[in-house]
Amino acid sequence: MNDCATVIPIVPVSPAPNPPAWDRLIQSDHVHGSLYTDPAIYQAELAAIWFRTWVYVGHESEVPNANDYIMKSIGPEPVIMTRTKDGVIHLLHNRCPHRGNRVCVTEHGNARSFTCPYHGWTFANDGALKGYPFPSGYEGADRSKLGLGRVPRVQSYRGFVFGSMAAEGPTLEEHLGGAMKSIDALCETSPEGEVQITAGFLKHKVKSNWKFLVENETDGYHPSFVHASIFEVAQSGIGTLYSSDSTAVSRDFGNGHTENDLRPEFRKRDVPMSWFGTTAEKMPEYTASMKAAYGEEKARKIMIDGTPHIMIFPNLFIAEIQIFVLQPLSVNETVQHVTALQFKGAPDLNRRLRQQTMGSVGPAGFLLADDAEMYERTQLGVQSLNPEYLYLGRGRHRERRDEDGFRIGDATDETPSRGIWRHYRAMMEAA
Amino acid sequence: MPMTPEQRATLEDVTQFIYREARLQDDHEYDAWESLWTDDGVYWVPANGDGGDPEQVMSIIYDNRSRIALRIRQFHTGKRFSQTPRSRLRRLVSNIEVLREEGDEILVTANAMVCESQTRGDFNWASRNEYLLRRGADGLRMARKTVVLVNNSTAMYSMAFLI
């Protein structure tokens, strides 16, 4: 559709000179301001988190056909997600092994191979070197070692494709843990059980450290204030979900995954599609498809519960009607790639999802422009180290365990932030 | 071919209208700006090049008339933090051409350059703008405004002011 230079960050990767004292920087309800501003800590995070753990890359529906490809990223590093003719999805580093040039500069398309424009080396879409011009100059070279770099582990869950740059480590299922149920619930919003990512992405950049975004995604304390303006003029019911009286809970799934579970409020309302600010009667086609797919009772339950609000560490935020993919570019620069969720077999719901998403998010969005403002001002704020620490103690006294053993707090509590930092510290210490 | 007196008059009307629209945006005269729209106005800021079909893919802004009104009401709450404090703005609009005139509708293209100063820093935004203007009893109104930013394919900072 378009040829465009995507963000090209400069990424010097080197270990932090002296391992920081993580136990001093990250305490049970305090975190040090330098965690958001220190370039050495950012470099350490690339090695310990972004280039190690499972990072969300893209969705299978973005490369539906054999030989489709799309440019994606793992942290600041560009990768190409391809589908070979056998249907397998590959994640390739967009870097020619010869001189380092980009082999792909077109956002998405269909190609069996990629040719580097610099010296004409050609690679199959599984990364293997197919050939180079004037091959007599390479007598004795081992072609099998001159392919594109491959992300060593690629795995999907319900169509969501993750990559890990570590050859060994926990499986994707082990990493996702309790978050898998939320993805299952998300998929059930489709009468065919499938999410599709087909509406293109907005790319919204902020001058802020990536962790401010991760924490904000499941911070149930801020909406009543940051988003008061739109709640007020749109007569939105979202504000009450994040009030002090809300029966919604915040949850820490472990492994850095956190959510705002709004189902208790929706179940109290007991109105199908209330989660989406509408009624079943206003969406007759969707309601009929859901009943046909799941039966009256289960369809009603799915349509009452709504979709999850979950931050899958470190970069996939499923926000009821849209997904955000977070991409750090540097210690103080982050891009949010955002698009509407689309559900297979639900055209009338999908149209409204696109419209609501466009209103809410992106550089001019009714919600996200204001979130972005907070990200940038906090980033400016933490450059001052008096006081040195941020305080994450909200709701600590009432934190409890749910029936599955996960930590939960009230809707506006900082249980998610504490969970994110607990996991972060474990990953940084393990590095 | 030389312009006819009628064509000159139309270009002059259109130019004055676009200058007024630019000034109202720069000065955050939200209500006066809103009054420039027809009742069926559509305000479109595509993403990713020329944007494709806004009914199918994401746009930076794709407001129908009621959403334009919502955008204005949000500014008036005083709690639209991305515009509190407001961006300081000045824009130049140039290369104004009437592409087509049919009945009471005029299709116009122009280039715009906006200088923005905000907490985040100072920024330049460049765009090709397309207007569908409609003549009524009280002069011209906007039935459609499309703003194709030159940087809409790459990651962009917030842009919560009226572009």
| Cβ within 8 Å, pair B67-A7 | no
* Cβ neighbours for A162, distance < 8 A, ≥ 6 positions apart: A54, A55, A56, A57, A154, A155, A156, A172, A175
CA of A362: which chain B residue's CA is closest?
Answer: B60
According to the model, what pLDDT value does residue A68 have? 98
Q: Which of A216, A304, A220 is nearest to A263 (CA)?
A: A304
| Cβ within 8 Å, pair A366-B154 | no
CA of B57: which chain A residue's CA is closest?
Answer: A199
Chain B hits for A200, Cβ within 8 Å: 47-48, 52, 57-58
The alpha carbon of residue B121 and the mean position of all alpha carbons in its chain are separated, in whole angstroms, by: 22
According to the model, what pLDDT value does residue B155 have? 97
pLDDT digits (tens, 9 = 90+) for A301-353: 999 999 999 999 999 999 999 999 999 999 999 999 999 999 999 999 999 99
* Residue found by looking up tokens 């959403």 in the block: B67
Residue A278: both structure tokens together: 């509408």
Q: Which of B77, B155, B158 sits opposite A203 (nearest CB)?
A: B155
Q: Which of B60, B74, B82 sits opposite A233 (nearest CB)?
A: B74
CA-CA distance, B106 to B134, in Å (whole number)?
A: 6
Please name the helix (run of DSSP H) or strand (run of DSSP E) that holds residue A162, with its range, or none.
strand A160-164
Chain A hits for B57, Cβ within 8 Å: 199-200, 354
Mean local confidence (pLDDT), A121-138: 97
Of the pLDDT bands very low, low, confident and very high (cuts 50, 70, 90), residue A12 is low
CA-CA distance, A258 to B140, in Å (whole number)?
A: 52
Answer yes or no: are the C-beta atoms of A211 and A365 closer than 8 Å: no
| Cβ within 8 Å, pair A203-B154 | yes
Q: How far is B160 from chain A (nearest CA, A)?
A: 5
Report the 3 state secondary structure along chain B: CCCCHHHHHHHHHHHHHHHHHHHHHHCCCHHHHHCCEEEEEEEEEECCCCCCCCCCCCEEEEECHHHHHHHHHHHHCCCCHHHCCCCEEEEEEEEEEEEEEECCEEEEEEEEEEEEEECCEEEEEEEEEEEEEEEECCEEEEEEEEEEECCCCCCECCCCCCC
CA of A207: which chain B residue's CA is closest?
Answer: B120
- Per cent of chain A over pLDDT 70 is 96
Count how many Cα atoms sit within 13 Å of the Cα of residue A279 in the half-sphere of its side chain.
4
B61 touching A (Cβ < 8 Å): yes
Q: How far is A327 from chain B (nearest CA, A)?
A: 11
CA-CA distance, A292 to B5, in Å (whole number)?
A: 66
Of the pLDDT bands very low, low, confident and very high (cuts 50, 70, 90), residue A2 is very low
Helices (H) and strands (E) in chain A — how many of each? 14, 23
| Cβ within 8 Å, pair A202-B153 | no
Q: Per-residue pLDDT for A9 more than 60?
A: no
The count of residues in chain A is: 431
Of the pLDDT bands very low, low, confident and very high (cuts 50, 70, 90), residue A18 is confident
Q: Which of B47, B78, B81 sits opposite A370 (nearest CB)?
A: B81
CA-CA distance, A375 to A369, in Å (whole number)?
A: 10
φ and ψ at A72, to 5 degrees? Answer: -135, -165
Exposed, middle or buried, B141 (CB in 10 Å: 0-12/13-18/19+)?
A: middle
Q: How far is A233 from chain B (nearest CA, A)?
A: 6
CA-CA distance, B12 to A129, in Å (whole number)?
A: 61
Mean pLDDT, rounded, of chain A: 95
Q: Which of B78, B154, B159 sits opposite A364 (nearest CB)?
A: B159
pLDDT digits (tens, 9 = 90+) for B113-127: 999 999 899 999 999
pLDDT digits (tens, 9 = 90+) for A235-287: 888 889 999 999 999 999 999 999 999 999 999 999 999 999 999 999 999 99
Angle between helices A284-294 and A296-305 (to 10 degrees): 120
Mean local confidence (pLDDT), A151-161: 98
Chain A hits for B49, Cβ within 8 Å: 1-2, 4
CA-CA distance, A56 to A205, in Å (whole number)?
A: 18
Give A237-297 as a DSSP string. Answer: SHHHHTSTT---EEEEEETTEEEEE-HHHHHHHT-TTGGGTS-GGG-HHHHHHHHHHH-HH
Mean local confidence (pLDDT), A388-411: 98
Could you give the dihedral angle defined by the CA atoms of residues A243, A245, A248 and A253, in that order, rounded to the nearest 10 degrees? 80
Of the pLDDT bands very low, low, confident and very high (cuts 50, 70, 90), residue A17 is low
Mean local confidence (pLDDT), B23-40: 98
CA-CA distance, A226 to A242, in Å (whole number)?
A: 12
B59 touching A (Cβ < 8 Å): yes
Neighbours of A316 (CB within 10 A): 22
CA of A9: which chain B residue's CA is closest?
Answer: B155
Chain A hits for B79, Cβ within 8 Å: 228-229, 232
Mean pLDDT, rounded, of chain B: 97
Q: Which of A102, A83, A28 is nearest to A395 (CA)?
A: A28
Q: How far is A340 from chain B (nearest CA, A)?
A: 8
Q: Which of A7, A368, A377 sits opposite B155 (nearest CB)?
A: A7
Exposed, middle or buried, A9 (CB in 10 Å: 0-12/13-18/19+)?
A: middle
* Cβ neighbours for A384, distance < 8 A, ≥ 6 positions apart: A33
Mutate to test the interface with A, among B45, B58, B151 (most CBs of A within 10 A): B58
Residue A397: both structure tokens together: 């006294």
Answer yes or no: are the C-beta atoms of A401 and A409 closer than 8 Å: no
Mean local confidence (pLDDT), A388-413: 98
Chain A hits for B58, Cβ within 8 Å: 199-202, 338-340, 354, 357-358, 362
| Cβ within 8 Å, pair A229-B56 | no
B80 touching A (Cβ < 8 Å): yes
| Cβ within 8 Å, pair A358-B45 | no
| Cβ within 8 Å, pair A206-B62 | no
Give A103-158 as a DSSP string. Answer: S--BSEEE-SEEE-TTT--EEETTS-EEE-SSGGGGTT--GGGSS--B-SEEEEET
| Cβ within 8 Å, pair B58-A234 | no
Mean local confidence (pLDDT), A407-411: 98
Q: How far is B5 from chain A (nearest CA, A)?
A: 41
Chain A hits for B153, Cβ within 8 Å: 2, 4-5, 107
According to the model, what pLDDT value does residue A8 have? 52
Q: Which of A235, A300, A294 is nearest to A270 (CA)?
A: A300
* Cβ neighbours for A431, distance < 8 A, ≥ 6 positions apart: A44, A47, A48, A52
Neighbours of A398 (CB within 10 A): 11
| Cβ within 8 Å, pair A351-B153 | no
Chain B hits for A362, Cβ within 8 Å: 47, 58, 60
Cβ contacts below 8 Å, chain A against chain B, sum to 123
Of the pLDDT bands very low, low, confident and very high (cuts 50, 70, 90), residue A19 is confident
pLDDT digits (tens, 9 = 90+) for A44-90: 999 999 999 999 999 999 999 999 999 999 999 999 999 999 999 99
Q: How far is A325 from chain B (nearest CA, A)?
A: 13
CA-CA distance, A302 to A306, in Å (whole number)?
A: 6
